[in-house]
Amino acid sequence: MFKEAMVAFEWTIRIEGKNEFGNVCRGKVRIGKTWERLFDCEIGFSIKEGKKVVAILQSAVVNH
């Protein structure tokens, strides 16, 4: 979990999929932005953060 004093905002991305048998697979990733990163004009996701999102999606697809 992120320290409240350091994080300017936090995104929680949930991914849910259902197969033809009705089985549901879920994944979740949290990404936080510090004030320092915002002041440096980092408003979008970094490549590292984007890879976290794609990894959760891939895990949901592969393990489904």
Domain boundaries, the chain: 7-62
pLDDT value at position 52? 92
pLDDT value at position 5? 54
User: What six digits make up the tokens of 37?
Assistant: 């990163």
pTM: 0.65
Residue pLDDT, tens place only, 11-44: 899 988 888 888 888 889 998 888 887 777 777 7
Residue 52 CA to residue 54 CA, distance in Å, equals: 6
